[in-house]
Structure 1
Amino acid sequence: MSKQKEWEMTLVDCDDGNGDCYLEFPPDVLTHLRWQAGDVIDFQVVDNCFYMRKLDELS
């Protein structure tokens, strides 16, 4: 079984006045996860934690 890896990142305010924000992934995180532009990510919030997976990894 592979060991899970954790990262801590900060939500960035879009400054659009709507309270919208985004999560900017550092390049080393994207490389480790093998994520790239165009990937579809499943996003869930459970007990105040974000869980994300690339959709093709869900099967």
Structure 2
Amino acid sequence: MTTKPINLRAARKAKARAEKEKAADANRAAFGRTKAERLKAKTEKEKANSHLDGHKREPGRETE
């Protein structure tokens, strides 16, 4: 059996390109939001946190 030789330099460059594209996709997901989307997510997070804080039990206070 004869196989076709592989150009290792080209394979390394293709792998590096694929890794860069994967990192770029992650950055687009993390930083590619509009200001309105970021503001909405921030207010939702703050609302959820305040809701949870309102339901916390006080330390040292026993239930009857």
Same fold (TM over 0.5): no
More helix, by proportion: 2
If each structure's strand is expressed as a fraction of its own residues, which one has the higher value?
Answer: 1
Highest CA radius of gyration, 1 or 2?
A: 2
- Scaled by the length of structure 1, what TM-score is found? 0.18
Q: Which has the higher contact order (CA 8 A, sep 6+)?
A: 1
